[in-house]
C-alpha cells in the first residue's frame, strides 16, 4: 500500500536542482479557496449526500448537547453518531438524498439543453477546473499522510487566520472580503508584525522541508531499488 502511494505521488513531485530537491506541484492558497471559480450561477447545484444532509440538520442540536467540544471534536462525534445511527433512520436521509439527486439530474439535463455553444464551452472549462481542484486536494492529503510540512503562510494569510472568526459577515466570502479591506487600510507598523511572523514561518517551513525531502528521497529510492514498480492491483488503489 505504501509503495503504491509513493508511486502515485511521483507524478506530483519532481526532483530538480543541483541537489536533487523534491518539489511538489500543488500550491493551493487561501485566496484561491475563497475565489469565485465558476461563472454559471444558474447551473443547478449538486445535492448533498445523505451524511451531509444529516450533519446540516443535526449540527445545531449536537452543538448545544456537547458545548464542551470544539468544532473538530464535534464533527468527529457527529460522524460517530451517523455511523451508529439505526438503519431505518439512516435510510430516511438516504431516500431524501436519492430523491434530490434524481431531481438534480432532471434539472441538469434541462439546463444543458438550453445552453448555447459558448455557454457549453464555459461549463466544460469549469468542470475541468473542479477536477483539478479535487486532484490537488487528494495529492495534498496524500502528501500530508507522508508528513509533508505545512506550507509557509504569507503575512496576509496569518492576518486572515487570526481575525476570521471575529470579523462580521454572514458567509465566508463576505468575511474574506471584509478582511481584504481591513488589510488594505492596516497601518504599515501593524503589517510589519505579520511580515515578521511570515518570515519566521518561512524559516520553519524551509527547515522542515529539507528534512522531509531527504526522508522522501530515501523512501522513493528504496522503493525503486526493491521493486520495478507497483503491481497491477496497487495501481488500481
Q: In 66-164, which residue ranges form alpha helices assigned H by DSSP? A: 71-83, 87-113, 117-145, 155-163
Residue 33's pLDDT band, with cuts at 50, 70 and 90, is very low
d(CA 34, CA 127): 18
Q: What is the pLDDT of residues 205-215, one digit of tens each?
A: 999 888 888 88
Q: β-strands 21-24, 13-16: how paired?
A: antiparallel
Say what the pLDDT of residue 9 is. 52
Residues 6+ away with beta carbon under 8 Å from 227: 3
d(CA 39, CA 126): 8
3-class secondary structure per residue, 11-31: CCEEEECCCCEEEECCCCCHH
Q: What is the pLDDT of residues 112-164, one digit of tens each?
A: 888 888 888 888 888 888 888 888 888 777 777 778 888 899 999 999 988 88
Say what the pLDDT of residue 154 is. 93
Measured from the Cβ of residue 132, the count of other Cβ atoms closer than 10 Å reads: 11
pLDDT value at 13 more than 90: no
Measured from the Cβ of residue 156, the count of other Cβ atoms closer than 10 Å reads: 19
Amino acid at each position: 500500500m505504501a509503495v503504491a502511494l509513493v508511486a502515485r505521488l511521483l507524478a506530483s513531485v519532481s526532483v530538480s536542482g543541483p541537489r536533487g530537491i523534491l518539489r511538489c506541484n500543488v500550491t493551493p492558497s487561501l485566496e484561491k479557496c475563497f475565489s469565485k471559480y465558476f461563472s454559471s450561477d444558474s447551473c443547478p447545484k449538486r445535492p448533498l449526500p445523505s451524511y451531509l444532509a444529516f450533519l446540516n440538520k443535526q449540527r445545531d442540536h449536537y452543538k448545544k448537547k456537547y458545548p464542551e467540544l470544539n468544532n473538530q471534536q464535534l464533527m468527529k462525534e457527529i460522524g460517530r453518531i451517523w455511523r451508529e445511527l439505526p438503519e431505518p433512520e439512516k435510510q430516511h436521509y438516504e431516500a431524501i438524498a436519492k430523491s434530490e439527486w434524481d431531481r438534480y439530474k432532471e434539472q441538469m439535463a434541462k439546463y444543458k439543453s438550453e445552453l448555447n455553444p459558448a455557454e457549453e464551452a464555459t461549463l466544460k472549462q469549469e468542470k475541468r477546473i473542479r477536477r483539478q481542484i479535487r486532484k490537488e486536494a487528494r495529492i495534498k492529503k496524500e502528501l500530508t499522510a507522508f508528513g509533508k510540512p505545512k506550507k509557509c503562510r504569507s503575512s496576509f494569510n496569518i492576518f486572515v487566520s487570526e481575525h476570521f472568526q471575529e470579523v462580521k459577515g454572514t458567509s465566508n466570502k463576505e468575511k474574506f472580503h471584509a478582511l481584504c479591506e481591513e488589510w488594505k487600510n492596516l497601518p504599515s507598523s501593524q503589517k510589519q508584525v505579520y511580515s515578521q511572523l511570515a518570515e519566521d514561518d518561512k524559516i520553519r517551513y524551509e527547515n522542515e522541508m529539507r528534512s522531509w525531502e531527504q526522508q522522501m528521497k530515501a523512501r522513493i529510492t528504496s522503493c525503486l531499488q526493491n521493486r520495478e514498480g507497483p503491481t497491477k492491483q496497487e495501481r488500481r488503489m
